[in-house]
Chains A and B, each alone.
Chain A
Amino acid sequence: NAGVMQNPRHLVRRRGQEARLRCSPMKGHSHVYWYRQLPEEGLKFMVYLQKENIIDESGMPKERFSAEFPKEGPSILRIQQVVRGDSAAYFCASSHPGNTEAFFGQGTRLTVV
């Protein structure tokens, strides 16, 4: 029973390029959450999605960032025109409906050079 899968594990982008981070939730999970974590810091909520719907994107920057969770395929976090400040670890988590435990992927470490 595969856990939450994130890829790539490490991603290097030059300033101005686009970054696409993928997250495949655990089997049977319909809820996906994305978090950003800077070194030595906490987990900052970005967005909460269900299949084909964005439920809460209150933590997403207004520009350059977008997320989707299509009917088929993984959830995607997209960062356009990356800047150095976007360098961070991005974690995805998934859960069943309801206030249940969330399972995290191993994260994508994004480095912008």
Chain B
Amino acid sequence: GQQVMQIPQYQHVQEGEDFTTYCNSSTTLSNIQWYKQRPGGHPVFLIQLVKSGEVKKQKRLTFQFGEAKKNSSLHITATQTTDVGTYFCADRASKIIFGSGTRLSIRP
């Protein structure tokens, strides 16, 4: 079956450093969505990318969709303690298949 992998599994950074998580699929992704889950919380939708090569920005967050629609990335510039959580990519077709997630922790 389809697998959506993310790397790294964990990332521990100093506050103010940048952070990037990468999402890769064995098959072509329909649309890519990104969600954030705070510790003890539930997933919250961040953004959806639809087109090959698409780039979207939300303040310090930059999302990219690969040209072949098999990979995506999320980059956070100058992390803050509020960025702590697990970031999931997801293949959004009729159902939603989530990647394995990257857990971000931050040293103040």
Residues of A in contact with B (beta carbons under 8 Å apart) = 33, 35, 42-45, 48, 55-56, 58, 91, 93, 99-107
Contacts and interface: CB of A to CB of B under 8 A. Distances in A.
A105 B98 CA distance: 16
B59 interface: no
Nearest to A89: B42
A51 to B, nearest CB: 15
- Which of B88, B93, B96 is the most central at the interface, judged by chain A CB atoms within 10 Å of its CB? B96
A99 B98 CA distance: 14
A42 B88 contact: yes
A43 B1 CA distance: 15
A45 B48 CA distance: 19
Contacts of B20: none
Contacts, number: 49
A103 B45 contact: yes
Contacts of A43: 43, 88, 98, 101
Given A42-B99, A99-B30, A104 B43 contact: yes
Interface in B28-69: 30-31, 33, 41-45, 48
Contact of A45 (B31, B42, B96, B100): B96
A35 B96 CA distance: 10
Contacts of B94: 48, 55-56, 99
B95 A33 contact: yes
